[in-house]
Amino acid sequence: MQNEEKEVVKLSMQELIVLFFNTIAGRCWARLGLTRDEYGELRQDLKEARMGIDVLDAVLKAIEDYLEEDLKRELEAVLANLKLNYFNQYSKTKEVKT
pLDDT of residue 97: 66
- Give me the pLDDT at residue 94, please: 85
Q: How many helices (H) and strands (E) does the chain have?
A: 3, 0
In angstroms, the CA 17 to CA 77 distance is: 16
For residue 98, being part of any structural domain is answered with no
Q: Any bridge partners for residue 32, and if so which?
A: 44
Residue type, 89: Q
Determine the length of the chain: 98
Q: How many structural domains comprise the chain?
A: 1
Q: Bigger pLDDT: 52 or 96?
A: 52
Structural domain boundaries enclosing 18: 13-91
Q: Is residue 1 scored above 60 in pLDDT?
A: no
In a domain, 37, yes or no: yes
Query: Over the stretch 27-49, which tens digit does the pLDDT of each residue have?
Result: 999 999 999 988 999 999 999 99
Residue 97 belongs to a domain: no
Q: Is residue 29 one of the residues assigned to a domain?
A: yes
In a domain, 3, yes or no: no
